Amino acid sequence: MSKILIVEDEKNLSRFVELELRHEGYEAQIAKNGREGLDLALAEDWDAILLDLMLPELNGLEVCRRIRQVKNTPIIMMTARDSVIDRVSGLDHGADDYIVKPFAIEELLARLRALLRRVDLESKQNSAKQTTVTYRDLTIEKENRVVRRGDEIIELTKREYELLLALMENVNVVLARDVLLKKVWGYESQIETNVVDVYIRYLRNKIDRPGEDSYIQTVRGTGYVMRS
Ligand code: CA
């Protein structure tokens, strides 16, 4: 359920928007002036903020600007004046969209849905970026634990996967056997570090191409590394 903050000093309007939002399945809360709106915006996590421009105590542009110093919460400015200056300054202060009063509630709901969709898509794309690790033609999609060499999916056991991930997330860093053991198996002690050698062998059998150099280099007496 998306959580929406309504910062609006006109009681009838804020109450109406609140009811409509709840009716649409959103969680909604009202702040009745700029100061309260800013405090609530910073204190809690909102999926979006509907922010009036003309507010007592702190105007909407100032609230918007101060929220943006710390947070990226999506903001729709509600402005009574349809002047280009107001719209532009709202967007300049970091608002994502604006709507001119008086507005039809359907338009507000449509803009809100569009904004939430856009933000959702962006965050998915960002997390997809962050969760993909690559080394040469090897790719790991961390989210679904898929390993590819080129287009080909390589099936790994849990330990092999963790081992490969540790190496690929530390390209050019030599990982000692005991470090790998701790990372992958969670052992604190020195128990059988040759387990690592055994699993490196399994891993090489699966990822390396016959006749070519291994992706994983052995650093004699120490451990393993993938070098760029
Ligand atoms: Ca107002």
Around 118, how many Cα atoms within 13 Å sit in the side-chain half-sphere?
12
Domain regions of the chain by residue span? 1-123, 130-224
Mean pLDDT over 56-76 rounds to: 92
Dist. CA 77 → ligand 1 center (Å): 11
Q: Global pTM? A: 0.58
- pLDDT at residue 154 in the model: 96
Question: 16: part of which helix (H) or strand (E)?
Answer: helix 11-23
- pLDDT at residue 82 in the model: 62
DSSP-assigned letters across all residues of 84-113: HHHHHHHHHTT-SEEEESS--HHHHHHHHH
For residue 105, is pLDDT > 90?
A: yes
Dist. CA 93 → ligand 1 center (Å): 18
For 128-179, write each residue's pLDDT tens digit: 666 889 999 999 998 888 999 999 999 999 889 999 999 999 999 999 998 8
Question: 64: part of which helix (H) or strand (E)?
Answer: helix 60-70
- pLDDT at residue 178 in the model: 85
| CB-based neighbours (< 5 A) of ligand 1, an ion | 9, 52, 54
For residue 66, is pLDDT > 90?
A: yes
Mean pLDDT over 51-59 rounds to: 93
Dist. CA 52 → ligand 1 center (Å): 6
Confidence of residue 218 (pLDDT cuts 50, 70, 90): very high
Q: 163 or 186: whose pLDDT is higher?
A: 163
Dist. CA 120 → ligand 1 center (Å): 29
- Specify the long-range contacts of residues 148-157, CB closer than 8 Å, at least 24 apart: 149/207, 154/206, 154/207, 155/206, 156/203, 156/206, 157/202
Supply the CATH classification number for the domain 130-224.
1.10.10.10
Dist. CA 13 → ligand 1 center (Å): 10
- pLDDT at residue 106 in the model: 95
- pLDDT at residue 130 in the model: 65
Dist. CA 75 → ligand 1 center (Å): 16
- pLDDT at residue 189 in the model: 54
User: Given the DSSP bridges, would you call strands 132-135 and 146-149 parallel, antiparallel or unpaired?
Assistant: unpaired
Mean pLDDT over 48-65 rounds to: 94
For residue 23, is pLDDT > 70?
A: yes
Query: 136: left (phi > 0), else alpha (psi -120 to 50), else beta?
Result: left
Q: Which candidate, 207, 228, 64, places its Cα nearest to that of 136?
A: 228
Dist. CA 19 → ligand 1 center (Å): 18
- pLDDT at residue 152 in the model: 95
- pLDDT at residue 93 in the model: 75
Q: Report the chain's mean pLDDT, rounded to a whole number.
A: 90
Supply the CATH classification number for the domain 1-123.
3.40.50.2300
Dist. CA 101 → ligand 1 center (Å): 10
Dist. CA 88 → ligand 1 center (Å): 18
How many residues comprise the chain?
A: 228
Name the phi and psi angles at 82, rounded to 5: -90, 60
Confidence of residue 83 (pLDDT cuts 50, 70, 90): low
End-to-end CA distance of the chain, in Å?
Answer: 45
Dist. CA 83 → ligand 1 center (Å): 16
